[in-house]
Structure 1
Amino acid sequence: MKISLGVKLRRGPWGGGNQFAQSLANYLEQRGNQVSFDLSAPDLDLILLMDPRDRGNSAAYRDGDVVRYLRRNPGALVIHRINECDERKGTKGVNQRLEHANLSADYTVFVASWLRELYANQNRINRESIVILNGSDRQIFNPGGYRRWTHREPLAIVTHHWGGNWMKGFDIYSRLDDYVGSQPFSHPIAFTYIGNLPDGFTFRNANYLPPRSGSELADSLRQHHVYVTGSQFEPGSNHQNEGANCGLPLLYRNSGCLPEYCAGFGIEFQTTDFPDRLQEFIDTYDIWVERMPAYPHTSAACCARYVELFETLLDRRAELVRDRSARLSDWERLEWKTQPVRQANRVARKVRRLSSQLARRLPRLTD
């Protein structure tokens, strides 16, 4: 198979989409497939559209580029991997934008069942699709070196995020910061946060580490006992997978994809009952840690499902190509209607970026 993945790979700490693309590319190449990250090859079999929004930081191409490519190579199949929603950061327009882009695709992959239901309930994307859960690389994120809690030292709690948006769970992490100072539980706790922070936010009592990735991140996670995630409306995150595959049982919020990924491997909490659930975790840690070797969400399992899907879709190529014409016509009508708005948004983003750069330079210019 000749496959294009629509992402610009980055080195070092970056978001989960980058890690997914790297794992999938390696998995495909190890099995004799050809992988690229652009649309230059004239004879691609499959295109995995990952982020069609007008962003330059991670997207290799958008849906308009895919539609133009299909005019040159109509035999290529397009799979749209949806891993985003407005609910995650309180934005507007993301769901609508992905609905538009999805018209360019022959098939859809959602990274969690709740995300598929979200789009279906909004009457945005209701056609044939599949859910493939994300997973982390067990060659890096594994329990080798993880030391179980002996109950003689503070229970070491950790989390990590690349994004510094408040909805990543900072209402919960702020409370943990307070708990480290007040120690209201039956046993002392410690808390470490790894990653980016919201603008202006600092911890008073917790340990803070800057963003890490790969083996350095895995080593840091294994120095703790419990992984907590308070993230809200996560489309299909990978951070909990990295913690769990390092052997840490999970304390997770009942929100977004987290129950689907974490159920059976820790304790779920609501915003209102977090202290009670943390105390319950302290009391039952030994039960949960025994379950962690069976945690199923690995990159190998995830990639195997993608390869299985790719092969199944190629067997249906003639049918899928035949059924796309009306959908592409709908895409072109929407493209024509929304193009002026997107162009205005691009200009506005550029103005904001330039204004921010100028604001940072002004103090130096006036010294």
Structure 2
Amino acid sequence: MLKVHLTGGDNRNWALDEDYRTIHSALEGRVKFVDLRHAQVVHSVYPRRLAKLPQASLIGKQIICNQTLGVPHFLGKPASRYALERAGLWISRSREAVEDFNALGIASLLVPYAVDTSVFFPLALDERNRLRTKWSIPLDRYLIGNFHRDTEGADLTRPKFMKGADVFLEVVTALHRLGHPIHILLAGPRRHYLRRGLRERGVPFTFVGTVTQDDDYPDNILDRRVLNQLYRVLDLCLVTSRRRTEGGPHAILEAAASRCKIMSTRVGQAPDVLRPDCVVDHPIQFLDPISKDIADNWLETTLDPHEEAVHRAHTVEAIGPPLQEAYGRLKAVAAFRPRPLRPNQVRKRRDSLWSRRVRKVLSAFVRRRGPHTVSLWHKFFQPPYGGGNQFLLALERCLRSRHGMDVRRNEIHRGIDAYLLNAVQFDIRKFERRRLARLRLAVLHRIDGPIHLYRGTQTRDLDEKTYRLNRTYAGATVIQSFWNLKEIVKFPYQPVLPVVVHNAADRAIFHGAGRSPFDRNRRIRIIASSWSANPRKGGAVYKWLEEHLDWERYEFTVVGNLSEELDIANHMPPMNSESLAEVLRQHDIYITASRHDPCSNALVEALSCGLPALYYDDGGHSELVGYGGLPFTRNDEIPGQLERLVASYEMFQHMIAPPDMGDVAATYLEILRDLADGR
């Protein structure tokens, strides 16, 4: 019998532990569970746990890993590169995750999440009112709830991006303002953000748990049988997680198994389990169907198909065959062997016992700050200039001011701890000429593109040069969007240990403070911006918009260079960041029609100034905008989408969540630190 070491739970009696229990139960009798030392196969239900296992203990073993997050979100974690390097086979929990892995050429098999139907099951109807009375919940209200954590870790003020607590708040606020008799039910730990937000907006709610202003994790984790009762008293379980951020959530299975009505954003396994009319692409689409259910209970018709979907594919018994199929594929999975370092890469030092002891004492001090000196290799220009230049200037300032780094420009010598190379936009000859023959480099390579997609096939040689540099020097690679990574893999090229990190704007410059108030009683102000006059930046679309815009209802401004001549719109010349930010804050809606744009810095700047966006659905735009705007694929869709943005402007604006420069710089720093340490 195959010897398997199963790992990855966190002993919190929450989602990871539940996943561990269901996988363990499904494998029971099929494999022999052993400790790590004696295992032939290591199966981790959590990628981060796999990344933390000692590399030496994994050599010669076949490795399986469950994907708990959406693939793009997972690839944004610096530790993901270790898990990707180690796992020979990935267990995906949704069809979307399988497709995303396949797009990257990564072996993956669908084994759905399972729910314990002995814990989550329908309760008698007469229990509903009794339980509502027990928890002092009004009997005559339409009860909406979910039981996710709201906040990012122990920071109880910042909404958890993945779970969309801010999105939930916007949806229920809109329903409340429509006059619907709703009441919100919250339970579980770290619900501080929603409790505070609902109170401020006057939306009535009940919290089941111990109310405290301090961190209540794990104290407010409820027994899962109590959760089953909570699902049963709800009129609607509302899942507002952001797309491609998580593999579950478990709430979808738990609610369906409990015969609780449920609607969800298009996230993880939601489309695999729920009826299509219960899954929305944008939270604005929740309002009409929920309003209809309040009026006529139409969601009652979804209970049978949802419960049947759970019992068909999402029980411990149901996941046994696909899990067995995954183990059957191990014959084609190579045992783990560490990737050999290239001659120029930093290696872990093999020092004396005394040296190791000294470093151990100092390690906490050093690692907290990362490498002390970083050299950025890029041809810097005084703004106004292109988006990559703008981002690197902002990153440089943040690394210095917030993280205390000594940041140099285009230097190479033994005093540098780590290097950040920007694609091919630096003096490559100087870098390669000055690289000392015996100097081992810790290099993070930031790449975008493929360049030929937005500059034309004549620039394909720049892509080849980028990938040569990546193969030769990179210890890890920053890719600017998931779309960007998929297109690079199509090239075809596999970047060295990629991590997806979006660009961010300097929030000291690009922010919403001092914005002109939005007012539907005046003309709505639309703006676009671009440094480049490349036709792929959307000039033809802006010309079409000028010709078809209702000028009595809208104004239109374009800042920067353009491939088309505009006759009516206000066309302003390129300007520095401070001036551009001021102009953005005077407008209401940002439009971008650029194509094959991996991570538009102009779009990030506009979002950071609080402008909902109308964007051409291509490149990395949808990843940046999220729920803070709407897409278009044809010019004639623009007027209708503009009207939708105006009609629900406040809701769109509140759901803007641009990348934060502090988070982005911290991610860069973590990777640079690891590379400098030879990891």
TM bucket normalised to smaller = 0.7 to 0.9
Q: Measure the CA separation in 1 of the matches of 2:496 and 2:608.
A: 33
* Residue type of the alignment partner of 1:87: L
Match in the other structure for 1:82:
447
Q: Measure the CA separation in 1 of the matches of 2:622 and 2:435.
A: 38
What displacement does 1:114 show? 0.7
What displacement does 1:73 show? 5.0
Q: Measure the CA separation in 2 of the matches of 1:2 and 1:271.
A: 48
SS at match of 2:394: helix
Match in the other structure for 1:154:
523
Match of 2:648 among 280, 284, 301: 284
Match in the other structure for 1:174:
543
1:1-367 to 2 correspondences below 5 Å: 1-30=372-401, 31-52=403-424, 59-62=425-428, 64-84=429-449, 85-92=451-458, 93=460, 94-104=462-472, 105-180=474-549, 183=551, 188-198=553-563, 201-272=564-635, 273-292=637-656, 295-317=657-679
What displacement does 1:304 show? 1.4
Q: 1:148 to 1:6 in 2, by over 3 A?
A: same
Identify which range, 243-252 or 16-25, moves more after superposition. Answer: 16-25
Task: State whether residues 43 and 76 of structure 1, in contact with CA within 8 Å, keep that contact through their aligned partners in structure 2.
Answer: no
Q: Measure the CA separation in 1 of the matches of 2:661 and 2:555.
A: 30
What displacement does 1:109 show? 0.8
Task: State whether residues 502 and 659 of structure 2, in contact with CA within 8 Å, keep that contact through their aligned partners in structure 1.
Answer: yes
Q: Measure the CA separation in 2 of the matches of 1:78 and 1:161.
A: 30
Task: State whether residues 43 and 73 of structure 1, in contact with CA within 8 Å, keep that contact through their aligned partners in structure 2.
Answer: no
Q: 1:42 to 1:315 in 2, by over 3 A?
A: closer
What displacement does 1:65 show? 4.1
* Residue type of the alignment partner of 1:189: Y
Superposition TM-score, scaled by structure 1 size: 0.77
What displacement does 1:40 show? 4.4
Task: State whether residues 412 and 431 of structure 2, in contact with CA within 8 Å, keep that contact through their aligned partners in structure 1.
Answer: no
Structure 2: runs of 5+ lacking an equivalent: 1-371
What displacement does 1:28 show? 2.3
Structure 1: runs of 5+ lacking an equivalent: 53-58, 318-367
What displacement does 1:116 show? 0.8
- Deviation by residue 1:160-209 (Cα, 9 ceiling, x = unmatched): 111111110112211221134x54xxx711100000122xx321110011
What displacement does 1:47 show? 1.5
> Structure with the greater relative contact order (CA < 8 A, sep ≥ 6): 1 or 2?
1
Q: 1:69 to 1:47 in 2, by over 3 A?
A: farther
Q: Measure the CA separation in 1 of the matches of 2:455 and 2:395.
A: 27
What displacement does 1:88 show? 1.4
What displacement does 1:225 show? 0.6
Q: Measure the CA separation in 1 of the matches of 2:553 and 2:528.
A: 18
Superposition TM-score, scaled by structure 2 size: 0.43
Q: Measure the CA separation in 1 of the matches of 2:385 and 2:617.
A: 25
- Deviation by residue 1:57-93 (Cα, 9 ceiling, x = unmatched): xx4421x544444444522211110023211122331
Match in the other structure for 1:340:
none
Identify which range, 219-228 or 72-81, moves more after superposition. Answer: 72-81
Paired residues, number: 302
Task: State whether residues 45 and 75 of structure 1, in contact with CA within 8 Å, keep that contact through their aligned partners in structure 2.
Answer: no
Task: State whether residues 135 and 298 of structure 1, in contact with CA within 8 Å, keep that contact through their aligned partners in structure 2.
Answer: yes
SS at match of 2:655: helix
What displacement does 1:150 show? 1.2
* Residue type of the alignment partner of 1:309: I
SS at match of 2:649: helix
Q: 1:73 to 1:48 in 2, by over 3 A?
A: farther
Identify which range, 265-274 or 153-162, moves more after superposition. Answer: 265-274
Instruction: Calculate percent identity across the aligned residue pairs.
Output: 28
Q: Measure the CA separation in 1 of the matches of 2:387 and 2:567.
A: 28
What displacement does 1:121 show? 2.0
SS at match of 1:75: coil
SS at match of 1:305: helix
* Residue type of the alignment partner of 1:306: Y
Match in the other structure for 1:334:
none
Q: Measure the CA separation in 2 of the matches of 1:32 and 1:260.
A: 30
* Residue type of the alignment partner of 1:95: D
* Residue type of the alignment partner of 2:604: N
Identify which range, 142-151 or 90-99, moves more after superposition. Answer: 90-99
Q: 1:47 to 1:233 in 2, by over 3 A?
A: same
Q: Measure the CA separation in 1 of the matches of 2:436 and 2:412.
A: 13
Q: Measure the CA separation in 1 of the matches of 2:438 and 2:398.
A: 25
- Deviation by residue 1:246-297 (Cα, 9 ceiling, x = unmatched): 11111111100101111111111112523332232233323212333xx231
Task: State whether residues 6 and 51 of structure 1, in contact with CA within 8 Å, keep that contact through their aligned partners in structure 2.
Answer: no
- Deviation by residue 1:223-253 (Cα, 9 ceiling, x = unmatched): 1111111110102221111111111111111
Q: 1:204 to 1:115 in 2, by over 3 A?
A: same
What displacement does 1:21 show? 1.8
Q: Measure the CA separation in 1 of the matches of 2:628 and 2:465.
A: 35
Task: State whether residues 470 and 495 of structure 2, in contact with CA within 8 Å, keep that contact through their aligned partners in structure 1.
Answer: no
What displacement does 1:220 show? 0.5
Identify which range, 40-49 or 134-143, moves more after superposition. Answer: 40-49
Task: State whether residues 478 and 501 of structure 2, in contact with CA within 8 Å, keep that contact through their aligned partners in structure 1.
Answer: yes
Identify which range, 151-160 or 66-75, moves more after superposition. Answer: 66-75
SS at match of 1:103: helix
Q: 1:21 to 1:90 in 2, by over 3 A?
A: same
Task: State whether residues 628 and 654 of structure 2, in contact with CA within 8 Å, keep that contact through their aligned partners in structure 1.
Answer: no
Match in the other structure for 1:325:
none
Which of the two has higher C-alpha Rg? 2
* Residue type of the alignment partner of 1:125: Q
* Residue type of the alignment partner of 1:222: R
Match in the other structure for 1:354:
none
Q: Measure the CA separation in 2 of the matches of 1:48 and 1:39.
A: 11
Task: State whether residues 447 and 479 of structure 2, in contact with CA within 8 Å, keep that contact through their aligned partners in structure 1.
Answer: yes
SS at match of 2:505: coil
